[in-house]
Amino acid sequence: MGGGGGGGGGGGYSGPVGAGPSLSSDDYTVAMRLIKHKQYAEAIPHLQMVLADKPHDADILNYLGFTKRMVGDYDASLDYYTRALTVDPNHKGVHEYLGELYLQKNDLPSAQKELATLATLCPSGCDERDALTKAIGNYKPAAPAATPAAATTTTGQSASAR
């Protein structure tokens, strides 16, 4: 997982697991352990409990965005990342993960904007910037879906040409 603002699958909190935002429960610790073991869906309810106590915690919002993205709920992920940036517009982990979300949604220009923001936030480099740079470098756009009109018959003639 790699703690910290990103750069390997964590969130915005860079301290030791369990020493994150001061909480009255163990939900944060449980969520971090689940995320570390890639049990993202199981971590979500624990993070939501933490968020109920600290609704303006950018790190928790970032972790919720991350876990929602990892289970394929891109709309909820985007919502959590947007909320986190409202709380902390300079949160490097959110910018990294938001860029990765944009790549998953095949929106390379938006991912590049997040990378430009990271270049401004950490001009000498940082893990989040390095991770998003690598993700963009490895990005392969999804192949466009074949359209029925472009399908060919066994004779090689397109269906629309008959």
Q: Report the pLDDT value the prediction gives residue 143, as an integer from 0 to 100.
A: 72
Closest C-alpha to 37, from 49, 24, 46, 25: 46
42 vs 143, residue with greater confidence: 42
Find all residues with CB under 8 Å of 153, minimum gap 6, and list them: 159, 162
Q: Report the pLDDT value the prediction gives residue 34, as an integer from 0 to 100.
A: 97
Q: Alpha-carbon distance 143 to 161, whole Å?
A: 24
| Region of poorest pLDDT, from 60-64, 69-73, 80-84, 156-160 | 156-160
Mean pLDDT along residues 2-17: 40
Mean pLDDT along residues 54-82: 98
HSE-up of residue 141 (Cα within 13 Å, Cβ side): 8
33 vs 15, residue with greater confidence: 33
Is the model's pLDDT at 6 over the cut of 90? Answer: no
| Region 27-161: CATH code | 1.25.40.10
Tokens for 108, please give them: 């390379």
Q: Report the pLDDT value the prediction gives residue 25, as an integer from 0 to 100.
A: 58
